Amino acid sequence: MKETLILASRSPRRSVLLKQLGIPHRIKPSSVEETRREGEPAEAYAERLAIEKALDVSRRTTHPALGADTIVVVDECILEQPRDDEEAFEMLSQLSARTHRVVTGLALALEGKLLGATVSVTEVRFRALEEGEIRRYIASGEGRDKAGSYGVQGLGGGLIERIEGEYGTVVGLPLSLTIALLREHGVLQEWPLEGTRSAELL
């Protein structure tokens, strides 16, 4: 690997996914305010935030910075992280027995210059949820820091009927697009990295 990658995110899940790919990195969260512009489409919003995060962090390091942002969209309404348990209940009730989109924007920047950006969209179908199981899931605390109030990689996987698209997009980092973006701009010359062993990824 040419240079140490900086993950411009405080999400532990994105760091886990990079480790899963065998990509060494350091974490440096951005200070970008996440505010949607009036009338801004979901895909454009996620991509813009990813770009702003990557640029923000890249100005504070000499290493390439990878920014990402994930949002949940149902009926063109964006569901971000819940403010409290009641809002989480409203979100999960809205998702019950329906299909929604999970949009993850991805961007790479170096020393204040954008190298590239892309967006990944995955469709997720929830099974019909009972009020009691929604409240018990909320009480687990798993969805408090997640867009749409759920996490696909944990208990939240039991809420889901099917996924159409890349699983990593729902977790917060589309794996194939991440590899492609890093290779396109020379951060990765090859993948998997030489010397990576499967036991290290578990």
Residue whose pair of structure tokens reads 């900086």 in the numeric block:
6
Mean pLDDT of the chain: 93
Nearest CA among 180, 171, 201, 185 for reference residue 68: 171
Model pLDDT, residue 157: 96
Q: For 69-108, b where at least 16 C-beta lie within 10 A, e where not — what string?
A: bbbbbbeeebbbbbeeeeebbebbebbbeeebbbbbbbbb
Model pLDDT, residue 202: 39
What's the pTM value of the predicted model, to 2 decimals?
0.91
pLDDT at 199 over 80: no
Task: Write the class of the CATH domain 5-201.
Answer: alpha beta
The Cα–Cα gap between 143 and 138 comes to 7
Residues 180-196 have a mean pLDDT of: 87
Pull the structure tokens for residue 94.
């809205």
pLDDT band at 1 (very low <50, low <70, confident <90, very high): low
Model pLDDT, residue 194: 74
Share of the chain above pLDDT 90, in %: 86
pLDDT at 158 over 60: yes
pLDDT band at 196 (very low <50, low <70, confident <90, very high): low
42-78 pLDDT per residue, tens: 999 999 999 999 999 999 999 999 999 999 999 989 9
- Compare 139 and 34 and report the one with higher pLDDT: 139
Catalytic residue selected from 56, 69, 75, 85 = 69
69 assigned to active site: yes
108-154 pLDDT per residue, tens: 999 999 999 999 999 999 999 999 999 999 999 999 999 999 999 89
Q: How many CA atoms lie within 13 A of 85 on its CB side?
A: 9
The Cα–Cα gap between 106 and 81 comes to 19
